[in-house]
Each structure stands twice: as C-alpha cells, then as structure tokens.
C-alpha cells in the first residue's frame, strides 16, 4: 500500500533518513503519537498499561526524508515476570541502534519511571528530543510554560516540543525537528512501505486491542493472541486465532456470557481488518489456557514477544 508523499525514485541532494526510537513510560501516548505521525494506524492503543508488547517500525517517507520510527513498549520499574523483563529489554535495546531518540512524557507530570527512562536515554548517548504529550488537557495553558522550562533543564535536549497526539496538534513541528536531525543518506525502505510487520502480525494485534478495550480492568494480564492460520485467497482472508490465557478461570471472562463478548471482539476486529486489508475476512477465535506463559522465556520467544 502506497503511503509516500511525492517521493521520487531519484534521491535529491541533502536527502535524510534514519531510525528514531519513541520511548517513554507506559501510557504516555507513544503508539497514538506514531499512528498520527504516519497518518495510519499500525500500533494498537488502549488505556491499559503495556498495551504495546513489540517493537514496531513505522515508516514515513516524503520527498525530503524517510523517518523510520521505532515504537517500543513502555519502560517500567521493577523486574516482575519474564514478560515485564522482555518488554523492558525490547524497549531499551532499541536505543542502541537508532540515530535519534524521541522521549515522550505527559504534560505536567514527571514520575520516577520518567526519570528512569531519561537515565537510559542519557546512557545511550544519542541526540534526543522531548515530546511533551497531552497538552490539550492542560487548563489554563499558562500552566504549561513553567513545566516546559523545568523539563528542559533535566537534559540537554535537542528540542522540547509540546504536542497533542490524540488531537493531532503540533505534530508537524515535531516532525520538522526530527527530520532536521536525521543523517543524510538514501532511504532505508521502499517508499510504499508503512511498516515492516506482516498482515498476520497486524491481525493478531487488532484482535488483542479489541480484547483490551472490551475487558478493561477485567482483562487478565496474562492474555495474548496467536494467529494459528492466515490463509489469503482471492477476495478473502481466513484467520484462525488463538487467545491464550494463563488460568482456566480467565477463559469464561474472555468468552463472556453466552459467548457474546468474544463474538463482539471478533465482529469489531473483522470489520477493521476488512478495511485495512481491502478483502473480506472470515475469522474464527478460540480461547485456550496456557498456564504461566507470561513468566516463561521460551513461551515468550515462541509468541514473538520482546524480540
């Protein structure tokens, strides 16, 4: 699918391209920010912490630059289960391989987890921009100015940019700051690529997003989605997905009374995927128990979490 903005095959002089990590603690809006910067939804979102469990590349190609954003899981304190460790590892490992870091914080907040993220940013030794998100929630706006001055003193940021990812406010300014700091060079990916992730992966994520949003606080933490079969036919895609939970008692929560919740999840995911893939979707969802998977390194690797 072509998402480029007038990109020409011949690379103009001064063309820039590079990898940009989006990092921050859970729930500061990194995935929402990525989706709006791209103008396309590749990262799932929900109010629940640690919705993002994978590093996801989002590729923005213009006639001036190609920005390859790396969306990462939220960095959180404590070791916890193997899943927690894998998410932190996936986020922090991304800092080693990028040209620029965009650290995302929430306006008027600075938590111990924000401080932890900043320490990792400083240790990476890469240029960093601070994106202060959710400024639309600040009333009156004059409260924002002293906060911006305060966070600017915490590190020698290349720029501090107030934004509202949800409202699509000031994202052009953030993109300009990012592009100005990318190294000169040819694009890293074809101009029509928007992500490196497969349709199978995107399908699993959309199903998981619907579960997160439907279940809210009822959602068992140890829940994930695996695509067992993804068959593409002319005009039709057949998807057979397994929803893994850690305990037998979690299974009826996910299925819901008389199967209504699971059916609702399937309907919403199917509609969204039909629009995404441009084909009719036949989807089957099954809920199965896999005890202790979130604290099992081998199971995490098999499920592709934390890679």
Q: List, as one string, the DSSP characters of 24-68.
A: -STTSSHHHHHHHHHTS--S---SSTT---S-EEEEEEBSSEEEE
Q: Looking at the domain assignment, is residue 194 inside a domain?
A: no
What average pLDDT does this structure show over 176-193? 96
Residues spanned by the domain of 264? 199-302
State residue 274's pLDDT score: 97
The verdict on 151 and 208 lying in the same domain is: no
Q: Looking at the domain assignment, is residue 3 inside a domain?
A: no
The verdict on 62 and 154 lying in the same domain is: yes
The verdict on 123 and 226 lying in the same domain is: no
The count of other CB atoms within 10 Å of the CB of residue 6 is: 9
Q: Which residues pair with 226 in a beta bridge?
A: 242
Q: Looking at the domain assignment, is residue 35 inside a domain?
A: yes
Task: Indicate the SS3 state at residue 175.
Answer: helix
> Model confidence at 88, in pLDDT bands (50, 70, 90)?
confident
> Model confidence at 73, in pLDDT bands (50, 70, 90)?
confident
Q: Which residue has 């100015």 as its token pair? A: 145
CATH number at residue 29: 3.40.50.300
CATH number at residue 250: 3.30.300.20
The count of other CB atoms within 10 Å of the CB of residue 90 is: 20
Q: How many domains does the chain have?
A: 2
The verdict on 99 and 169 lying in the same domain is: yes
The verdict on 162 and 20 lying in the same domain is: yes
Q: Of 130, 149, 180, at which residue does a domain stop?
A: 180
The verdict on 290 and 152 lying in the same domain is: no
Q: Of 180, 209, 234, at which residue does a domain stop?
A: 180
Phi, psi values for residue 127, rounded to 5°: -55, 145
How many Å separate Cα 14 from the centre of its chain?
30
Q: Looking at the domain assignment, is residue 104 inside a domain?
A: yes
State residue 221's pLDDT score: 67
**Above 60 in pLDDT, residue 249?**
yes
Average pLDDT, the chain: 90
Flag the least confident range among 43-47, 75-79, 111-115, 138-142.
75-79
State residue 307's pLDDT score: 61
The verdict on 203 and 174 lying in the same domain is: no
Q: Looking at the domain assignment, is residue 287 inside a domain?
A: yes
Max Cα-Cα span within the chain? 62
**Above 60 in pLDDT, residue 171?**
yes
**Contact yes or no for 256/262 (Cβ under 8 A):** yes
> Model confidence at 91, in pLDDT bands (50, 70, 90)?
confident
Percent of the chain with pLDDT over 90: 72
Q: Looking at the domain assignment, is residue 186 inside a domain?
A: no
> Model confidence at 4, in pLDDT bands (50, 70, 90)?
very low
d(CA 188, CA 176): 19
State residue 9's pLDDT score: 57
The verdict on 257 and 176 lying in the same domain is: no
Rg (CA), the chain: 20
Cis, bond preceding 190 (omega within 30 deg of 0): no
The verdict on 27 and 107 lying in the same domain is: yes
The verdict on 172 and 236 lying in the same domain is: no
> Model confidence at 130, in pLDDT bands (50, 70, 90)?
very high
Q: Looking at the domain assignment, is residue 1 inside a domain?
A: no
**Above 50 in pLDDT, residue 1?**
no
Task: Indicate the SS3 state at residue 165.
Answer: coil
Model pLDDT for residues 194-235, shown as the tens digit of each residue: 999 999 999 999 999 999 998 877 765 688 999 999 999 999
The verdict on 175 and 33 lying in the same domain is: yes
State residue 131's pLDDT score: 98
Q: Looking at the domain assignment, is residue 291 inside a domain?
A: yes
pTM above 0.85, yes or no: yes
The verdict on 173 and 206 lying in the same domain is: no
State residue 2's pLDDT score: 42
State residue 301's pLDDT score: 85
Q: Of 180, 211, 238, at which residue does a domain stop?
A: 180
């Amino acid at each position: 699918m072509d998402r480029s903005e007038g990109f020409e095959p011949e690379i103009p002089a001064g063309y820039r391209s590079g990898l940009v990590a989006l990092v921050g603690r859970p729930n500061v809006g990194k995935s929402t920010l990525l989706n709006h910067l791209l103008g396309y939804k590749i990262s799932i979102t929900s109010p629940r912490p640690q919705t993002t469990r994978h590093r996801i590349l989002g590729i923005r190609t213009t006639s001036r630059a190609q920005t390859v954003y790396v969306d990462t899981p939220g960095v959180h304190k404590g070791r916890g289960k193997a899943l927690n460790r894998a998410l932190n590892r996936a986020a922090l490992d991304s800092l080693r391989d990028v040209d620029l870091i965009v650290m995302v914080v929430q306006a008027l907040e600075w938590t111990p987890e924000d401080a932890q993220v900043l320490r990792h940013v400083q240790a990476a030794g890469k240029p960093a921009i601070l994106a202060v998100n959710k400024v639309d929630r600040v009333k009156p706006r004059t409260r924002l100015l002293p906060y911006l001055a305060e966070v600017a003193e915490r590190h020698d940021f290349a720029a501090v940019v107030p934004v509202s990812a949800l409202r699509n406010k000031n994202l052009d300014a953030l993109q300009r700051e990012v592009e100005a700091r990318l190294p000169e060079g040819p694009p890293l990916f074809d101009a029509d690529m928007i992500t490196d992730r497969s349709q199978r992966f995107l399908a699993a994520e959309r199903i998981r997003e619907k579960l997160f949003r439907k279940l809210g606080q009822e959602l068992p933490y140890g829940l994930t989605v695996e695509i067992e079969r993804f068959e593409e036919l002319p005009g039709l895609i057949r998807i057979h997905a397994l929803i893994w939970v850690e305990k037998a008692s979690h299974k009826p929560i996910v299925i819901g009374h008389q199967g209504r919740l699971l059916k609702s999840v399937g309907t919403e995911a199917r509609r969204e995927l039909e629009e995404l893939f441009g084909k009719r979707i036949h989807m089957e969802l099954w809920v199965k128990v896999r005890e202790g998977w979130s604290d099992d390194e081998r199971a995490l690797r098999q499920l592709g979490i934390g890679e």
